[in-house]
Structure 1
Amino acid sequence: MPLTFTLDPAIGPALRDGVLDLWADVTNAGGAVGFVPPVTREDVRPELVRHFVAMAEGRHRLLVGHDEEGRVAATAFFAFNTHRLMTHWVWLYTVMVHPKHQGQGYGRALMAAAADAARTFDGIEAVRLTCRGGLGLERFYGSCGYQEVGRVPGAIRVAPGDHRDDVFMLLPLR
């Protein structure tokens, strides 16, 4: 069953808790979403609050996918550039699909919904994202139309002695 996507959903306790659960579950399953396992909802909460503040200030927008039972199953946050020479592209952050839904095409659906949403933003010509090297994410994003446009070797320290590349990807929208 496909996900139902909503751009800029109303923020309430159910959405907040759903995103917290999703973020913790994705991280604890080995997902590269800003944390290293193990994490709890309380570990993730301060970062989610920062995202919500940025949304309230108009700097971020949220795309959320709900499964057939109405639970938060996928997210992607957009972050707008404030530098006057870079306002023609947007960042895509915290791209997540719940582990129980992975392998069902939901990641591709999320990326297509994110591209469609970005096309509705005034003046946006491209979407950029970064991903942690060593997990095959570059291949996935490449299959969704993104091009690798840069790489910083060893920029992400997952653990002492375990450094990963920070890979920059771009999706032109026009």
Structure 2
Amino acid sequence: MDLRFDLDPAVTPELTDGIRTLWAEVSNAGGAVGFVPPVTAEDVRPDLLSHLVAMSEGRARLIAGRDAHDGRVLATAFLHLNQHRLMKHWLWVYTVMVHPSLQGQGAGRALMAAVDEAARATDGIKGVRLTCRGGTGVDGFYTSCGYKEVGRVPSAIKLADDDYRDDITMWRELA
């Protein structure tokens, strides 16, 4: 599948609906993007709205990966500029998602390359930071994309009464 990545696309109802649908589909397929299944597109609305507000205030940017043929949103990453006066040289990456049908086909690697490109093109940015849920193996994926683990909080994420996962912090220094 051909993906086209757009940085800071126009926020339209079609885009927001596409992101909400993707977010629910990724969550329901077991993706670690802030929810525990079952999830509806409506469930993710408040979290998406907080990203959109940050974008409207100039504090965040969106990378949207769309099907080159039908325009369907199949991947996302939100880049949040750090607001702390001593940490404006790096940014956060949140809600990294690739549609379950594209897993293992290079779409995630292409998305992370788009994240790197956008970060490098942002004035003054020297590094990228993200967190991920332990027990999913995604930290290995991020390592293969050039990130390194720089912190881990054991059992910081509670999925169920008997299921706690580590919160892993990953860092990528931009050359």
TM-score (norm 2): 0.98
Indicate the residue corresponding to 2:106 in structure 1.
105
Q: Matched residue pairs, number?
A: 174
- Corresponding residue number in structure 2 for 1:11: 11
Q: Over residues 102-121 of structure 1, what are the superposed CA-to-partner deviations in whole Å (9 max), with x where a residue is unaligned?
A: 11100000001110110000
**Unaligned regions of 5+ residues in structure 2, if any?**
none
Q: Does 1:59 align with 2:50?
A: no
Q: Report the Cα offset of residue 59 of structure 1.
A: 1.1
- In the TM superposition, 1:18-29 aligns within 5 A as 18-29=18-29
AA aligned opposite 1:135: T
Per-residue CA shift, 1:84-104, capped at 9, x if unaligned?
111000000000000111111
Rounded Cα–Cα distance in structure 2 between residues aligned with 1:47 and 1:116: 25
Using the size of structure 1 for normalisation, the TM-score is 0.98
Q: Whole-Å Cα distance in 1 between the matches of residues 51 and 160 of structure 2?
A: 25
Structure 1 stretches lacking a partner, 5+ long: none
Q: Deviations over 1:149-168 (max 9, x none)?
A: 01000000011121100000
Aligned-residue CA RMSD in angstroms?
Answer: 0.7
Local SS of the residue matching 1:41: coil
Matched with 1:133 is 134
1:33 and 1:99 mapped to 2: Cα distance? Answer: 13
Task: State the identity %.
Answer: 66
| Alpha-carbon distance in structure 2 between the residues aligned to 1:67 and 1:146 | 27
TM alignment of 1:1-174, pairs within 5 A = 1-68=1-68, 69-174=70-175
Structure 1 residue ranges (4+ consecutive) displaced by more than 4 angstroms after TM superposition = none
Post-superposition offset of 1:2: 3.0
